[in-house]
Amino acid sequence: MTDPLAPPANGPVAAAVLSCGIGCFLLGVLDVAADGSKAVAGALNFYKPTGPLSGVTTVALVGWVICWALLGLSWKNQAVSFKKVAAASFFLLALGLLLTFPPVGDLLLGR
Amino acid sequence: MEVDFRELVTIFHGMLFGGFFLMALSGALVLLLERPRPVPEKVPIWQALFLGKLVALGWLAVLSGAYIVYPWYRAVAPPGADLALYGKQLLVAHGNTAGWHTLGMEWKEHVAWIAPMAATMVAWVMLRHRAVWNAQREVRVTVLGFAGAALLAAAIAGGWGAMIDKKAPVQGGPSYRLMGDAK
């Protein structure tokens, strides 16, 4: 029997937060990868007028949504350690924000 | 007083979608700073509409930017063309303006996408999992942090966009008279 006083399961919220962090990180990684490699930039050039930006953002968004769906299914009705999830999510978000800043990408690419 | 087609679309992208998205994000931060209340039966309809509008504006801003305005900005000018119609080339043609593209546009075009992603997550938690948000302080702090990051990303993108459009305005296409007579 479910305890009516038990805190509500935070798994779906944790899945949404962590997948958002992963999506932001993926965006930053793909941004730097497309900037540093002509092959990657060419592969991500999904829509020519927009250029590699179209592929960078599409792949990041698809990755985000897939992560959200998979984590959401895994953590459905579960209570997870939210502090750990939050720490990992903020770390990934911060990396994503940093990697979109061109001087950081240039530093990593040795320019 | 006239405005041309590309200027009009840029106004919609930056001032309507982007500007109202920034204002809505500020409102969302106020909502997230509220003290948690006993779980309501249903999320108030005005909050559902507000959060839905927040998410829609964010996605409209980045999609209109990436797929309508940005292609005009980065189009390659044919030899001898007036560079005033080719923003990227106009900026990178001179050392003292190149940074508006190599730093400003390169940063703005990517960081902007973090804002609607984070805003979508925030709205989803507030609409679908309000009970968890009410019950757990760490959830409230985390969601607030992501909303703050969304505001930061949107402000960076909007700020650079406004400044770049002053240096190299996106323009072209048919003109529309807003008021007054043509002289």
Search chain B and give the residue with CA nearest A26: B114
Distance CA B21, CA B16 (A): 8
Range of weakest confidence among A80-84, A105-109, B177-181: B177-181
- Half-sphere exposure of residue A31: CA atoms within 13 angstroms, side-chain side: 31
Contacts of B125 in chain A (CB under 8 A): 13, 16-17
Search chain B and give the residue with CA nearest A9: B132
Residues 54-93 of chain A whose Cβ lies under 8 A from any Cβ of chain B:
54, 56-57, 60-61, 64, 82-83, 86, 89-90, 93
3-state per-residue secondary structure call for B56-81: HHHHHHHHHHHHHHHHHHHCCCCCCC
Q: How many CB pairs under 8 A join A and B?
A: 106
Give residue A42's domain range: 13-108
Q: Which one-letter DSSP state was computed for residue B36?
A: P
Give residue B150's domain range: 2-171
Tokens 């002289």 belong to B183
Note the pLDDT tens digit of each residue in B49-101. Answer: 999 999 999 999 999 999 999 999 999 999 888 898 999 999 999 999 999 99
> For a pLDDT cut of 70, what percent of chain B falls above it?
96
Residues 13-32 of chain A whose Cβ lies under 8 A from any Cβ of chain B:
13, 16-17, 19-20, 23-24, 27-28, 31
Q: Which residues contact B110 (CB under 8 A, 6 or more apart)?
A: A27, A28, A31, A53, A56, A57, A100
Residue A3 lies in a domain: no
Average pLDDT, chain B: 94
The whole-number pLDDT of residue B178 equals 86
Q: Which residues contact B89 (CB under 8 A, 6 or more apart)?
A: B76, B77, B83
Question: Contact B66/A23, CB-based, under 8 Å?
Answer: no
Note the pLDDT tens digit of each residue in A46-100. Answer: 999 999 999 999 999 999 999 999 999 999 989 999 999 999 999 999 999 999 9
The whole-number pLDDT of residue B42 equals 78
Q: Are B100 and B168 in contact (CB under 8 A)?
A: yes
Residue B164 lies in a domain: yes
* Gap from B112 CA to chain A (nearest CA, Å): 9
Q: Are B64 and B9 in contact (CB under 8 A)?
A: yes
3-state per-residue secondary structure call for chain A: CCCCCCCCCCHHHHHHHHHHHHHHHHHHHHHHHHHHCHHHHHHCCCECCCEHHHHHHHHHHHHHHHHHHHHHHHCCCCCCCHHHHHHHHHHHHHHHHHHCCHHHHHHHCCC
The whole-number pLDDT of residue A3 equals 61
The whole-number pLDDT of residue B64 equals 98
Distance CA B158, CA B19 (A): 8
Residue B176 lies in a domain: no
Count of structural domains, chain A:
1
Search chain B and give the residue with CA nearest A17: B121
The whole-number pLDDT of residue B121 equals 98
Residue A2 lies in a domain: no
Query: Rounded to the nearest 5°, which phi and psi values hold at A47?
Result: -135, 105
Looking at the DSSP assignment, which residues form a beta bridge with residue A51?
Answer: A47
Residue B179 lies in a domain: no
Q: pTM for the complete prediction?
A: 0.94
Nearest to A10 among B110, B139, B153 (CB): B139
Residue A56 lies in a domain: yes
Tokens 């390659």 belong to B76
Higher-confidence residue of B3 and B38: namely B3
Residue A65 lies in a domain: yes
Q: Which residues contact A38 (CB under 8 A, 6 or more apart)?
A: none
Count of structural domains, chain B:
1
Q: Are B114 and A89 in contact (CB under 8 A)?
A: no
* Gap from A77 CA to chain B (nearest CA, Å): 12
Q: What is the value of ipTM here, to two decimals?
A: 0.94
Whether chain B has a CB inside 8 Å of the CB on A95: the answer is: no
Residue A1 has pLDDT above 70, yes or no: no
Residue B117 lies in a domain: yes
CB atoms within 10 A of CB B7: 18
Residue B183 lies in a domain: no
Residue B79 lies in a domain: yes
Residue B181 lies in a domain: no
Note the pLDDT tens digit of each residue in B37-48. Answer: 766 667 889 999
Search chain B and give the residue with CA nearest A105: B107
Residue B177 lies in a domain: no
CB atoms within 10 A of CB B5: 14
pLDDT band at residue B183 under the 50/70/90 scheme: low
The whole-number pLDDT of residue A15 equals 98
